[in-house]
């Protein structure tokens, strides 16, 4: 069986002989570990044997079709995360912003506006920063939250982060989770920008997940019409300066007073769409193209981007309530003139079709194929992506009409991916490090803030990257002193059961430190450790040391930082 699998794999490689010369090959066991590390977040106890039994190629193909994998364990773990299944409108209602709520209550006369501030007590070094620091206001708000079964908005992102951790740890659909992480970074959104924290659960659920292994063009359109992206890159407020806006248009927009004067074209989305989502910075577009694309997307907006006030909801009725925070095309503010984008004429009067045409042009542009191929190869193979592989992967992308599955296959069955040069060279990003440590140790986690806090400390809070380019996929961004120190501290905390919400049970050493150490080197690193590191580790161990120490140290070795 083992030989058969090896033969099949060999046959799949396009140039096995050249490969044998240029690229040192991996053993079967190494290939399995490599796949479990790159297509997933590391091997749980028993995973290597499981993959060996079913055959590596079968495993890869199964991972490429996640919808066919049953995933009961992960689904059960997510049960208590209620935000995952709520509509944006429900999130606005159940997780209101305290400041906004206070203003609403004040406007309705339920809280007196003039509150003697604690400030007046001249409490020198502990000044209240906002009205909610006022003791009485805070009490009123707290009461209101309790009585009405409401929760703080911070909870939304905390639950979303927990869902990402839980799925990465427990899901059998490992490649799906890797791709969700990849696309979430590629189409990055920052949770702390305005309404985005309410918009992100839908973004993860409805935009990224269903399309993570589908067609790139479908994914691209889903992001373009996602309220989260429309808000993050300001397109929701981009309107034609010539648009004749009646009162109804104004109501639909629901902009805050300080934004009302900023009517007009906003080029932000148009630029990032080409620079970061499709063509790449040198992909061959001009400033003129940016302006024209921005014109095409005028009117792509959000119905009640901030949930809308009570008055608006009353006027709009139940329909208005349900649809708050969803995509809407507002034809009244759309620039309906003719445009030219990357040499393509977009005729006047196209309405919403203008934007759809732009997305189509971009999704099928050769620069996009190259840009996406480069990023995928960097992610799955090496920080310095081999140009030959990029070209082949880009060709597959184009030939398959941007089929992400097919594109990934071209990577996974390439000689470069399966070479010794690619083995354990990628530095794990903090999310990958935390998840792989939990998985390889067979630890149990609730995915809560206690675990996420470590990912944040190491510099990668989920949905916490401010600018649209997303977290870097190259080692240089992650190898710095503070970051390395936190990685070591995380290893010690995890092994010592000091990561809140995550528990690990380690073997008893019974005075056999060396034996236990070697067992853990096998579990955590499949024994891939330099003689120097093993020797240094061994010298550290006293006969009385618990496994906590050896595991903590192994998690902090240079070797464990790589995958």
Partner 1 sequence: MNRRFFLKSGSVALASVGMSLSAPSFLERIVLGNTLTGGKRKTLIAIFQRGAVDGLNVVVPFGESNYYELRPSIAIPKSGNDSAISLDGFFGLHPSMSAFKPLWDSKRLAIIHASGSPDNTRSHFDAQDYMESATPGVKSTSDGWLNRYLSSKKDADESLFRAVSMTKTMPRVLQGRASAVAMSNLSEFAIRAGKSSDNLQGGFEAIYARETKDSLAGMGRETFEAVNYLKKANPGQYQPENGAQYPRTPFGTSLLQIAQLIKAGVGLEVAFTDIGGWDTHVNQGNSRGQLANLLQQFSSGIAALYQDLGQRMDDVVVLTMSEFGRTVRENGNRGTDHGHANAMFVLGNGIRGGKVYGQWPGLKSDQLYEGRDLALTTDFRDVFGEIATRHLGSTDVKSIFPGYSSNASKFKGFLG
State the virtual CA torsion across 541, 546, 550, 553 in degrees, nearest 10.
Answer: -100
Q: Which token pair is 457?
A: 């400390």
Distance from C-alpha of 158 to C-alpha of 151, rounded to nearest angstrom: 12
CA 225/CA 272 separation, integer angstroms? 15
Stretch that binds partner 1, among 60-68, 254-262, 330-338, 510-518 (CB under 8 A): 254-262
State how far the Cα of 482 lies from the Cα of 431, in Å rounded to an integer: 16
- Shortest Å distance, C-beta 470 to partner 1: 11
Cα distance between residue 261 and residue 208, in whole Å: 33
Question: What is the Cα 394 distance to its own chain's centre?
Answer: 23
Count, residues near partner 1 per rule CB under 8 A: 75
Nearer to partner 1, 70 or 122 (CB): 122
Give the C-alpha separation, 538 to 514, whole Å: 7
Task: State the nearest-atom distance from the C-beta of 558 to partner 1, in Å.
Answer: 4
Q: Residue 261 Cβ, how far from partner 1 at the closest point, in Å? A: 6
| Helix locations, 324-457, DSSP H | 353-363, 366-380, 387-399, 404-412, 430-440, 449-457
* Residues 157-196, interacting with partner 1 (CB under 8 A): 190, 192-194
Span 214-243, contacts to partner 1 by CB under 8 A? none
Q: How far is the CB of 234 from partner 1 (least distance, A)?
A: 8
Contacts of 236 (CB under 8 A, 6+ apart): 227, 230, 300, 301, 302, 305
The verdict on 21 binding partner 1 (CB under 8 A) reads no
Q: Does residue 482 touch partner 1 according to CB under 8 A?
A: yes
Among 178, 358, 492, 504, binds partner 1 (CB under 8 A): 492
Which residue from 287, 319, 481, 544 is in contact with partner 1, where contact means CB under 8 A? Answer: 481
The residue within the footprint of partner 1, chosen from 83, 410, 553, 563 (CB under 8 A), is 553
Residue 556 to residues 480, 500, 543, Cα–Cα distance (Å)? 14, 19, 21
Q: Tell me which of 18, 281, 310, 331 binds partner 1, using CB under 8 A.
A: 281
Q: Does 283 bind partner 1 (CB under 8 A)?
A: no
Instruction: Pick from 21, 70, 125, 544 the residue near partner 1 by CB under 8 A.
Output: 125
Question: Considering only residues 47-76, where is the footprint of partner 1 by CB under 8 A?
Answer: none
Min dist. Cβ of residue 101 to partner 1 (A): 12
Whether the CB-CB separation of 25 and 4 falls below 8 Å is answered with no
Return the number of the residue (70 or 261) whose C-beta is nearest partner 1: 261
Using rule CB under 8 A, residue 114 touches partner 1 = yes
Residue 202 and residue 278 in contact, taking contact as beta carbons nearer than 8 Å: no
Range 498-537, binding partner 1 (CB under 8 A): 530, 532-533, 535-537
Query: Residues 70, 72, 244, 258: which binds partner 1 (CB under 8 A)?
Result: 258
In the complex, what is the shortest distance from the CB of residue 553 to partner 1, in angstroms, rounded to a whole number?
A: 5
Min. distance of Cβ 488 from partner 1 in angstroms?
A: 6
Instruction: Tell me the window of 22-30, 151-159, 272-280, 388-396 that interacts with partner 1 (CB under 8 A).
Output: 272-280
Mark the segment that binds partner 1 (CB under 8 A) among 77-85, 154-162, 265-273, 413-421. 265-273
Distance CA 360, CA 483 (A): 41
Reduced to 3 states, what is the DSSP secondary structure of residue 153? coil
154 part of the interface to partner 1, by CB under 8 A? no
Subset of residues 416 to 475 that bind partner 1, contact rule: CB under 8 A: 427, 456-457, 459, 461, 464, 466-469, 475
Burial of 33 (0-12, 13-18, 19+ CB in 10 A): buried
Instruction: Give whichever of 139 and 262 is closer to partner 1, judged by the CB atom.
Output: 262
Binding region for partner 1 (CB under 8 A) out of 149-157, 208-216, 358-366, 548-556? 548-556
Q: Shortest approach of partner 1 to residue 410 CB, angstroms?
A: 29
β-bridge mates for residue 346, sequence order = 339
Signed CA dihedral, 448, 454, 457, 463: sign only: negative
Angle between helices 404-412 and 174-186 (to 10 degrees): 110
Measured on CA atoms in the order 529, 532, 537, 538, is the torsion positive or negative?
Answer: positive
Binding status of residue 558 toward partner 1 by CB under 8 A: yes
What does the radius of gyration of the chain's CA atoms come to, in whole angstroms?
26
- Please choose, out of 83-91, 168-176, 261-269, 439-447, the segment that lies near partner 1 by the rule CB under 8 A: 261-269
In the window 341-380, what residues touch partner 1 (CB under 8 A)?
A: none
Residue owning tokens 């039994």: 53
Q: How far is CA 237 from CA 255, 267, 333, in A?
A: 8, 10, 10
Applying CB under 8 A, which of residues 70, 72, 122, 319 lies at the interface with partner 1? Answer: 122
| Residue 544 interacts with partner 1 (CB under 8 A): yes or no | no
- Judged by CB under 8 A, which of 127, 210, 351, 511 binds partner 1? 127
Q: Can you say whether residue 115 is alpha, beta or left, with left for phi > 0 and alpha for psi between -120 and 50 degrees?
A: beta
Least Å from the CB of residue 73 to partner 1: 32
**Which span (145-153, 167-175, 253-261, 392-400) binds partner 1, by CB under 8 A?**
253-261
């Amino acid at each position: 069986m083992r030989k058969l699998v090896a033969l099949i794999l060999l046959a799949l490689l396009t140039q096995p002989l050249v490969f044998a010369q240029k690229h040192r090959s991996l053993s079967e066991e190494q290939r399995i570990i490599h796949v479990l590390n790159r297509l997933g977040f590391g091997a749980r106890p028993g995973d290597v044997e499981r993959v060996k039994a079913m055959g590596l190629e079968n495993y890869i193909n199964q991972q490429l079709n996640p919808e066919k994998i049953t995933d009961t364990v992960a689904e059960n773990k997510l049960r208590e995360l209620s935000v995952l299944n709520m509509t944006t409108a429900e999130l606005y209602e159940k997780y209101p912003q305290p400041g906004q709520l206070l203003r609403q209550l004040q406007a309705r006369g339920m809280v007196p506006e003039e509150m003697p501030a604690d400030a007046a007590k001249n409490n020198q070094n502990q000044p209240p920063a906002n009205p909610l620091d006022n003791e009485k206001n805070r009490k009123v708000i707290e009461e209101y939250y309790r009585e009405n079964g409401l929760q703080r908005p911070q909870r939304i992102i905390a639950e979303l982060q927990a869902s990402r951790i839980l799925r990465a740890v427990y899901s059998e659909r490992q490649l799906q989770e890797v791709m969700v992480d990849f696309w979430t970074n590629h189409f990055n959104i920052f949770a702390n920008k305005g309404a985005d924290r309410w918009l992100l659960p839908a973004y993860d659920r409805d935009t990224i997940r269903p399309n993570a292994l589908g067609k790139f063009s479908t994914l691209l359109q889903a992001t373009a019409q996602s309220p989260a992206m429309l808000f993050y890159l300001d397109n929701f407020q981009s309107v034609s300066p010539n648009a004749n806006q009646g009162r109804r248009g104004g109501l639909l927009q629901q902009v805050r007073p300080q934004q009302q004067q900023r009517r007009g074209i906003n080029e932000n989305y148009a630029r990032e769409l080409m620079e970061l989502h499709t063509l790449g910075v040198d992909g061959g577009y001009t400033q003129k193209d940016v302006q024209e694309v921005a014109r095409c997307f005028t009117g792509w907006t959000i119905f009640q981007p901030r949930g809308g006030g009570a008055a608006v909801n009353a006027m709009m009725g139940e329909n208005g309530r349900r649809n708050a925070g969803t995509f809407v095309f507002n034809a009244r503010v759309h620039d309906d003139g003719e445009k030219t984008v990357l040499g393509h004429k977009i005729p006047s009067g196209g309405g919403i079709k203008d934007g759809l045409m732009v997305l189509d042009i971009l999704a099928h542009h050769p620069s996009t194929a190259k840009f996406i191929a480069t990023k995928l190869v960097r992610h799955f193979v090496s920080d310095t992506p081999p140009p030959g592989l990029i070209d082949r992967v880009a060709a597959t992308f184009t030939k398959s009409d941007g089929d992400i599955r097919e594109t990934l296959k071209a990577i996974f069955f390439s000689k470069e991916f399966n070479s010794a040069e690619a083995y354990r060279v990628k530095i794990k990003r903090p999310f990958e490090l935390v998840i792989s440590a939990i998985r390889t140790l067979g630890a149990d986690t609730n995915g809560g803030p206690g675990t996420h806090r470590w990912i944040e400390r190491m510099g990668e809070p989920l949905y916490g990257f401010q600018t649209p380019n997303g977290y870097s996929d190259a080692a240089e961004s992650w190898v710095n002193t503070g970051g390395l120190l936190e990685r070591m501290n995380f290893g010690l905390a995890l092994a010592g059961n000091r990561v809140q919400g995550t528990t690990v049970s380690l073997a008893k050493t019974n005075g056999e430190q060396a034996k236990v150490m070697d067992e853990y080197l096998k579990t955590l690193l499949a024994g891939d450790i330099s003689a120097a590191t093993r020797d240094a580790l061994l010298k550290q161990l006293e006969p009385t040391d618990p496994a906590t120490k050896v595991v903590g140290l192994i998690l902090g070795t240079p070797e464990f930082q790589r995958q």
